[in-house]
Amino acid sequence: MHMLKPCILLFVFLSLSLFSLGQDRYKISTGDPNGINKWYMGRQIAQVMSHYGIDWLERDEREMEENTSLLLKNLAVKPGMVIADIGAGSGYHSALLSKMVGSGKVFAVDVEQEMIFYLNERIKQEKLSSIVPVLSEEQNVSLPDNTVDMMLLVDVYHEFSYPYEMALSMLAALKRGGKLVLVEFRSEDPAVPIKTIHKMSEAQAIKEFKAAGFVFDKNIDNLPWQHCMVFTKQ
């Protein structure tokens, strides 16, 4: 019986240590009013746009401003691939990807139930049989481990309330050698007409994803306003 006490004390100590590390990961402080009062690795996390921004996601000018067609070429999608559109929102990119994967699959992942409702209606209306809507959690993409060939995150990662935990979850869901493509408005370019808190620098993105175990591959620097950064799981 006495032998159990040191083990129990060690368990409690380790649990408290891990909890402390989690608490230290994020800082609580005020900043840009368009963000939440939470910071990660020196970056303030932005407020979530939510389903109230669907009209902006589906705006007619989006192809011209972001060159979505070129982004899709950058992805080099092959028939049969399993792709996860993380933060899929209205399904703008998911719908386009579904026409490229053939017998493959597109997981349209979003944390908001209203977006999932919208996605289901879109799938019915446009007969998009290869799209599977997935309601995720704030700290988990809710996808099986080692099942996804590629993940696409377009202008969404900077809004994650738990970026480290989500990055770990995405890494787990990717197959070995799988790619994560991070598309974010360039903070290095003041000419990009987007609020500062909704931009990210290449250096910041690399720092955050390396912390979760991703390996930076390249930045495909050919989009008008956005970085197109490729990370891999090794």
The CATH number of the domain holding residue 62 is 3.40.50.150
| Model pTM score | 0.89
Determine the pLDDT at residue 11. Answer: 43
Take residue 125 and report the two structure tokens written for it.
Answer: 């209306």
Q: How many independent structural domains does the chain possess?
A: 1
Question: What's the confidence (pLDDT) of residue 8?
Answer: 45
Token pair 């009209």 is found at 55
For residue 151, count CB atoms less than 10 angstroms from its CB and return exposed for 0-12, middle for 13-18, buried for 19 or more: buried
Domain presence at residue 195 = yes
10-residue block means of pLDDT along the chain (234 residues)? 47 41 83 97 94 86 96 98 97 97 97 96 96 98 98 98 98 98 98 97 98 98 98 96
Q: Is residue 27 domain-resident?
A: no
